[in-house]
Amino acid sequence: QKEVEQDPGPLSVPEGAIVSLNCTYSNSAFQYFMWYRQYSRKGPELLMYTYSSGNKEDGRFTAQVDKSSKYISLFIRDSQPSDSATYLCAMSVNSGGYQKVTFGIGTKLQVIP
Amino acid sequence: DVKVTQSSRYLVKRTGEKVFLECVQDMDHENMFWYRQDPGLGLRLIYFSYDVKMKEKGDIPEGYSVSREKKERFSLILESASTNQTSMYLCASSLRPLSSYEQYFGPGTRLTVT
């Protein structure tokens, strides 16, 4: 079993829809929970991160962490064609003085105009 | 803005060649990383470095080595390229080891080994 599980998709939604992207994990020691966005032929860029449990909002994006269920989500409101990209969840744990990061395989999202 | 640059966007090499991939960051970050990204496997850490001349193995170091002679530059070396090293290679940096959750990535180098 992988430490971080993420459905690769693809996920196609109409413009304006609410998008829900999810990951599950098995390591209860994870401390930071991140979402990266990767456009085609580009490197990933950090969208947002959360420390421990709870919600975090940034514009149209909301990240949720449920540590009891080992489940994290990214919600995108009023989705736009420019949101079409691959979204990677990632999680990290303190390992000998640095944060060791584990990435999901990414979910490909397409927002149809 | 942090900028991470990689020496080539596309590279084609022959089996057995020695390959150098260069990465430079301009924000005085302590940590630098090399990943490869393959469909269905995601990002896998090859090596990382938390200081000049320091290096640590990641999850898949076999067939690779690294060099960090200056803080801003981190090189990945394929000693003898093989076809199974055909992949997208991504360099990243973070400010400090304990802030590795916040990584800044370069645009990637797509390497094809024939």
- The tens digit of pLDDT for each residue in B47-69 reads 999 989 889 999 999 999 999 99
Alpha helices in chain B (DSSP H): none
Tell me, what's the pLDDT at A44? 97
CA angle A64, A69, A70 (to 5 degrees): 70
* B102 three-state secondary structure: coil
Q: Give mean pLDDT, residues B36-49.
A: 94
Q: What are phi and psi of A27, to 5 degrees?
A: -90, 105
Nearest CA in chain A to B95: A98
Of all residues in chain A, the one with the smallest CA distance to B99 is A99
User: In the numeric block, which tokens belong to residue A93?
Assistant: 């744990």
A42/B92 CB distance under 8 A: no
Chain A CB within 8 Å of residue B58 CB:
no
The reply to whether residue B101 touches residue A92, judged by beta carbons under 8 angstroms, is yes
Lookup: tokens for B87: 């992949």
Contacts of B109 in chain A (CB under 8 A): none
B10 shares contact with chain A (CB less than 8 Å): no
Give the distance from CA A20 to its chain's centroid.
10
Quote the pLDDT of residue A96. 82
Q: By the 8 A CB rule, do B95 and B29 touch?
A: yes
| Chain B residues 59-98 with a CB less than 8 Å from chain A | 90, 92, 97-98
Report, as an integer, the average pLDDT of B74-85: 97
Residue A59, Ramachandran bin (φ over 0: left; ψ between -120 and 50: alpha; else beta): left
For residue B42, what is the nearest residue in chain A, using CA coordinates?
Answer: A105
Tokens describing residue A67: 């540590």
Contacting residues of B for A49, CB less than 8 Å apart? 101-102
**What residues of chain A score a pLDDT lower than 50?**
none
pLDDT attached to residue B2: 66
Which of A32, A35, A101 to substitute to test the interface with B, most B CBs within 10 Å? A101
Is the confidence at residue B96, as pLDDT, over 90? no
Do residues A45 and B108 lie in contact, with contact meaning Cβ atoms separated by under 8 Å? no
The residues, ordered by sequence, that sit 6+ positions from B101 with a Cβ below 8 Å of its Cβ are A32, A34, A49, A90, A92, A99, A101, B94
Q: Is the pLDDT of residue B72 over 70?
A: yes
